[in-house]
Structure 1
Amino acid sequence: MSKPIPTQPGAGTASPPMPPAARWALASLSLSMLLSALGTSIANVGLPTLAQAFSASFQEVQWIVLAYLLAITTLIVGAGRLGDMLGRRRLLLAGISLFTAASLLCAAAPTLGLLVAARALQGLGAAVMMALTMAFVGETVPKARTGSAMGLLGTMSAVGTALGPSLGGVLIAGLGWRALFFVNLPLGLLALFLAWRHLPPDRAAGAEKTGKAGFDALGTLLLALALAAYALAVTLGRGSFGPLNIALLLAAALGAGLFVFTQSRVASPLLRLAMFRDRVLSASLVMNVLVATVMMATLVVGPFYLSRALGLGTAMVGLVLSVGPVISALSGVLAGRLVDRLGAPAMVAAGLAAMVAGSAALSVLPGLFGLAGYIAAIAVLTPGYQLFQAANNTAVMVDVPPDRRGVVSGLLNLSRNLGLITGASVMGAVFAFASAASDITAASPEAVAGGMRISFAVAAVLATTALALALASRALTARPSVPACPAPPRL
C-alpha cells in the first residue's frame, strides 16, 4: 500500500551552511548544466547564417539543432545508468571532455554533414552532463541543502537558455558562425578542471565489481530507438502530421512495448519496472511532462502573439521573450531555499498553483492590457515553474539510493525533454487550430489573439491536471502503511 511521506530535510528550520568543498563541487556541476543548456539554445539563432554558409535549406540545417536534442533525449537514461555502474565522477569527466572536443569539431566542420555528426557527439556529452549533475547533488551537498542546490542548477539552466540567443547573435555578427561553438572551449576546460579538482572520488561499486550486474545494452537500444522515433514523429513536418509521422509514432509504440517486455526478463534491467510503483517518482515524472508542455507554449505561441497581434519589431520581441528566462534565473536560488525551509511537497503544490494562475493570466490579461498584461502573467508563471522544478527534483532525488541516482536523474531530465518536444508539436497545433488560419504567419491580429487565449486556456488545464496529481499523490503517500501490505521500497 502507500508509504508515509518522507520528512523533508530542513523543512521549517534554517539550513546549515554549505562547506567550501561542497561549494566548489556545486560550481563545477552548475557550469556543466550551463554548458548543456547553452548548447541547446545558442545554435538556433545561427540557422539562417548556417543555411547560407552551406547553401542548404532550412529543413537541412534544422538537423543541427535536432541532432543535439535527439542525442540527449535518446541517451540520457542510459548515461545515468552507466554513471551508476562505472562511477559518476569518471563518466562526468568523460562527458565534459566529449562535449568540449565535439564543440571544437563543430567549429572546424567543413561540411553540413560533419557539423550535424559533431552536434550529435556534443549531444552525447550533454546527455552525460545533464544526467549526472543532479545525481551528484546527493554526494556533494548536505541533505538539508538539497533544495538550494537544485534551485541553483535550475538557475544555471535558465541562464544558459536565456544567454544562448543573445550571445549567439553577438558572436555571429562579430566573429562568424564558428564562434558559436568555439565559445564552449574555455568554458568546457574550466568545467573539466573544476570537476576533476573538486568532485568526490567514485565509491567502490559492489554488484558490478563482482560481476552480478551488467549494462542492459538491448534495453538501452530499444529505449533509444523508441524515443528517437517519437521525437522525430512530433518534430518533423513542422506541425503537420503525415504518413511518415504516423509510421514513426507506431514504431515508437512498438519500441516502447518491446522495451517494457525486455525489462521484466533481463537480470540487470536499465529500468526496474517496480520503481514506477513509487507514487512520488511516477507522479513527478508525469507532472514534469505536463509542466514542460505548458512552458513550451510560451516559446511557441509567445513570438507570434507579440509580433502579429501586438505588432512588435524583431528586436522588441526578443527583448520581451528574454523576460521569462531572466525572471527564471533570478528566482531559481530563492526557490531552492524555500524548498529547504518549507519542504518539497508543499512547494511542488505552490509552484503548480502559481503556474495555473500564470497560464490563466496569459489567457486573459494580454487581451485586456496588451504588453503589460503579457509581462505580468509571465512574471507569475515563470517563478512558479522554477519553484516546481526545484521542489520536484528535490522530492525525487533526496532519498534515492546512491546506486540508482544516475538513472533516476536521467528519467527526470528525459520527462522534461519529452514535455518540451511534445509541447512544441501539441501546443503549436492547438494554436494553429484556435487561430483558424492555414498559415499562422499570415493570420490576422485578431485571429492570433484568439489563438493565444485558447492556447493558454489549454495550458491552464494542463497545469491544473498536474496540480491535482500533486495533491492526490501527497494525500495517498501521507496515509499510514498497512503492515500486512508494505509499500515497495524506493528505488
Structure 2
Amino acid sequence: MLKSTHTADSDTATGSPSARWVLVSLSLSMLLSSLGTSIANVGLPTLTQVFNASFQQVQWVVLAYLLAITTLIVSVGRLGDLIGRRRLLLAGIALFTCASALCGAAPTLSLLITARAVQGLGAAIMMALTMAFVGETVSKKKTGSAMGLLGTMSAVGTALGPSLGGVLIAGLNWRAIFFVNVPLGIVSFMLAQRYLPPDRQQQSKTGARFDYIGTLLLALTLSAYALAVTLGRGHFGVLNLALLLAAVLGMALFVLTEAKVSSPLLRISMFRDPVLSSSLGMNALVSTVMMATLVVGPFYLTRSLGLSDVMVGLLMSVGPVISACSGIVAGRIVDRIGAQRMVIAGLIAMTTGAFALALLPSLFGIAGYVAAITILTPGYQLFQAANNTAVMLDIRPEQRGLVSGMLNLSRNLGLITGASFMGAVFAFASASSDIRMAAPDAIADGMRVTFMVAGVMVVGALVIAGIGRVLARRGLDSGN
C-alpha cells in the first residue's frame, strides 16, 4: 500500500527559516519549468524568419520540450526515489540551466531543438521532485499550503512567459528568452544545494533496481500517444492513427513487462488504491477542460466578439493571473477544511464555471466571459491543491518521487489531449472546415458546445471522486 505514518523532520515541520528557504528553492524550480513551457511559444514566428524554416519545423522547439517532460517525468521520479532526490534535483537544475544556455547560443535550428529536449529532461526532474520534497520539508498540517504555493508558481510561470518573452524579443533578440533562465537557474541551484535536506540512507539500501526496459517502453508509448494527438494540428490522419495504435500496443507490452520484472517502474497493484487511481483520472479530465480555455478562448474573443489582439491578450491573461493569486489561498483552505472535501468543492466550482462559459458569454459578452473564468480558474486551483495533497500526504517516503511524477504525467496527458480533443469538438460544433473562416455565430455555437462538453467532463470527474471515496471507505472498513 501507499500509506505511511512518516512526518516531516522536526526542524522543517516547525516552519524554521531553513524550511522556508527550501520552499523558496522548490518554488523557483517550479517557476522555471513552467516558464520554459510558455516563454518559447511567443518566439516561434521570429524563429521561422531567423532559421528560414516552416512553422511545422519550428514547432518542434515547443514539442521537443513537452515530449521530454511527458515521456520521462514518471521515470525520473522513480529514479529520485532510488538514488536520492536531493542529488537528482540538483542534477536536474544544473541540466536545465546548461541546456538553457545552449538553447540561447544554438547556431542552427536542429541544435536548438536538441537543446530544448535536454532542457525538457531537466524540467521533468524539477517538476517531479519539487512536489515529492514537500513531504520531507513541510508538516502534514501545512501540506496544502505548500501545494498551493507550487501551483501559484506554476501559474506565474505560465502567465509570465508570453509577456516576458515578447519584451525580451523586442528589446534584445530571440536568444534572450532562453538566456533569461540561466541566472534564475544558478540561484535555484545555490538555494537547493544550501537548504535541501540530505537524502535518506535507506533509499540506497532498499535493493531495488531501476527498470530500464519499463522506462524505455513507457517513454516510447507516451511519445507515440503525444505525437498522435499533436501532429497535424487537429487533423487526424493515417500517421496519427498509426501512432495511436503503436501507443496501445506499447501500453500492453509495458503492462506485461511490469508484471514480470522484480523491480518494476510501476507496480500495477498501485492502481488498486482508490485514492491514487481516482486522483489520476480526475487530474487528466480537469486538465483537458482547462486546455479548452486556451485553445477555444482566443478564437471566440477574436472571431465572435471581434476584439483586437491587445484586448484578447489582456482577457487571456485573466485566468493565469487569477490562478497566481488564488493558489496560496486555496492551499490554506485545504489545510483548514481537509483535502477530500476541497476536491469536491473545487470540482463543483469548475463545473459551474464550465457551464457558465457555455452560456454567459453569449448573453453578456466580455463580462460574461470574465465572470465564468473567475469561477472556473479558482476552482481549478482549489482542486489541484486538494488533489495533490490528498495523494501526497500519506505516501511512503520511497514512493514520493514516483507518485509525484504520475500526478504530473496525468496533468500533462490531459493538457495535450485537451489541445487535440477539445479543438476537434470546437471545430465540429462550429460546422466549418476552416475555423479561421467561420462566421461569428458559428464560432459562438462552437464555444457553447465545447464548454457544455467540458462541463459534462467535470461532472464525470465528480463521479470519479465519489466512487473513489466510497471505495476508500470500504478499504478502511475491511482493514479494521
TM bracket (short chain): over 0.9
Instruction: Show CA shifts across 1:330-362 (max 9, x none).
Output: 000000000000000000000000000000000
Instruction: Show CA shifts across 1:443-490 (max 9, x none).
Output: 11000000000000000000010011112212332346455xx49xxx
Identify which of 156, 161, 168 aligns with 1:159. Answer: 156
Q: Write the letter of the residue equivalent to 2:38.
A: S
Count of paired positions: 474
The equivalences for 1:346-425 within 5 A come to: 346-425=341-420
Q: Matched residues in 1 for 2:43 and 2:456: separation?
A: 35
Q: Write the letter of the residue equivalent to 1:72.
A: I
Q: State the partner residue of 1:21.
A: 18
Q: Matched residues in 1 for 2:469 and 2:137: separation?
A: 28
Instruction: Show CA shifts across 1:290-335 (max 9, x none).
Output: 0000000000000000000001111111110000000000000000
Task: Tell me, yes or no, if the aligned pair for 2:4 and 2:397 is still in contact at 8 Å.
Answer: no
Q: State the partner residue of 1:13.
A: none
* CA spacing shift, 1:480–1:168, aligned 2, 3 Å: closer
Task: Tell me, yes or no, if the aligned pair for 1:91 and 1:128 is still in contact at 8 Å.
Answer: yes
Aligned alpha-carbon RMSD (Å): 1.6
In the alignment, is residue 265 of structure 1 matched against residue 260 of structure 2?
Answer: yes
Identify which of 44, 53, 60 aligns with 1:63. Answer: 60
Q: State the partner residue of 1:322.
A: 317
Task: Tell me, yes or no, if the aligned pair for 1:85 and 1:205 is still in contact at 8 Å.
Answer: no
In the alignment, is residue 255 of structure 1 matched against residue 250 of structure 2?
Answer: yes
Larger % of helix: which?
A: 2
Task: Tell me, yes or no, if the aligned pair for 2:258 and 2:268 is still in contact at 8 Å.
Answer: yes
Q: Matched residues in 2 for 1:170 and 1:89: separation?
A: 35
Q: Matched residues in 1 for 2:137 and 2:145: separation?
A: 13
Instruction: Show CA shifts across 1:410-430 (max 9, x none).
Output: 000000000000000000000
In the alignment, is residue 194 of structure 1 matched against residue 204 of structure 2?
Answer: no
Instruction: Show CA shifts across 1:238-292 (max 9, x none).
Output: 0001110000001101111100000010010000111110000000000000000
In the alignment, is residue 51 of structure 1 matched against residue 52 of structure 2?
Answer: no
Q: State the partner residue of 2:205.
A: 209
Identify which of 465, 476, 479 aligns with 2:460. Answer: 465
SS in 2 for 1:399: coil
Instruction: Show CA shifts across 1:67-111 (max 9, x none).
Output: 000000000000001100000000000000000000000000000
User: TM-score, normalization: structure 2?
Assistant: 0.97
Q: Write the letter of the residue equivalent to 1:107.
A: G
Q: Matched residues in 1 for 2:199 and 2:260: separation?
A: 30
In the alignment, is residue 332 of structure 1 matched against residue 352 of structure 2?
Answer: no
Task: Tell me, yes or no, if the aligned pair for 2:4 and 2:395 is still in contact at 8 Å.
Answer: no
Q: Matched residues in 1 for 2:353 and 2:15: separation?
A: 33
Structure 1, unaligned runs of 5 or more: 10-15
Q: Matched residues in 2 for 1:201 and 1:239: separation?
A: 46
In the alignment, is residue 102 of structure 1 matched against residue 99 of structure 2?
Answer: yes
The equivalences for 1:290-329 within 5 A come to: 290-329=285-324
Q: Matched residues in 1 for 2:102 and 2:14: separation?
A: 42
Q: Matched residues in 2 for 1:38 and 1:481: separation?
A: 41
In the alignment, is residue 342 of structure 1 matched against residue 337 of structure 2?
Answer: yes
- Kindly state the Cα deviation for residue 6 of structure 1 after the two structures are TM-superposed: 11
Q: State the partner residue of 2:213.
A: 218
Identity among equivalent positions (%) equals 71
Q: Write the letter of the residue equivalent to 1:198.
A: Y
Q: Matched residues in 2 for 1:35 and 1:373: separation?
A: 33
Identify which of 225, 231, 250 aligns with 1:230. Answer: 225
In the alignment, is residue 141 of structure 1 matched against residue 143 of structure 2?
Answer: no
Q: Matched residues in 1 for 2:42 and 2:437: separation?
A: 22
Runs of 4+ in structure 1 deviating by more than 3 angstroms, as ranges, are: 479-483
Q: Matched residues in 2 for 1:369 and 1:412: separation?
A: 37
Task: Tell me, yes or no, if the aligned pair for 1:92 and 1:132 is still in contact at 8 Å.
Answer: yes
In the alignment, is residue 92 of structure 1 matched against residue 89 of structure 2?
Answer: yes
Task: Tell me, yes or no, if the aligned pair for 1:18 and 1:145 is still in contact at 8 Å.
Answer: no
User: TM-score, normalization: structure 1?
Assistant: 0.94
Q: Matched residues in 1 for 2:205 and 2:390: separation?
A: 30
Q: Matched residues in 1 for 2:366 and 2:443: separation?
A: 14
Q: Matched residues in 2 for 1:349 and 1:111: separation?
A: 49
Q: Matched residues in 1 for 2:245 and 2:448: separation?
A: 33
Identify which of 409, 419, 438 aligns with 1:443. Answer: 438
* CA spacing shift, 1:480–1:233, aligned 2, 3 Å: closer
Q: State the partner residue of 2:176.
A: 179
Q: Write the letter of the residue equivalent to 2:205.
A: K
Structure 2, unaligned runs of 5 or more: 8-12
The equivalences for 1:269-280 within 5 A come to: 269-280=264-275
Q: Matched residues in 1 for 2:20 and 2:343: separation?
A: 25
Q: Matched residues in 2 for 1:86 and 1:378: separation?
A: 42
Q: Write the letter of the residue equivalent to 2:171.
A: G
Q: Matched residues in 1 for 2:328 and 2:469: separation?
A: 24
Q: Matched residues in 1 for 2:327 and 2:125: separation?
A: 23
Q: Write the letter of the residue equivalent to 1:100.
A: T
Q: State the partner residue of 2:70.
A: 73
Q: Matched residues in 2 for 1:389 and 1:481: separation?
A: 24
Q: State the partner residue of 1:33.
A: 30
* CA spacing shift, 1:341–1:6, aligned 2, 3 Å: farther
- Kindly state the Cα deviation for residue 142 of structure 1 after the two structures are TM-superposed: 1.1
Q: Write the letter of the residue equivalent to 1:173.
A: A
Q: Matched residues in 2 for 1:26 and 1:103: separation?
A: 23
Q: State the partner residue of 1:12.
A: none
Q: Matched residues in 2 for 1:482 and 1:402: separation?
A: 25
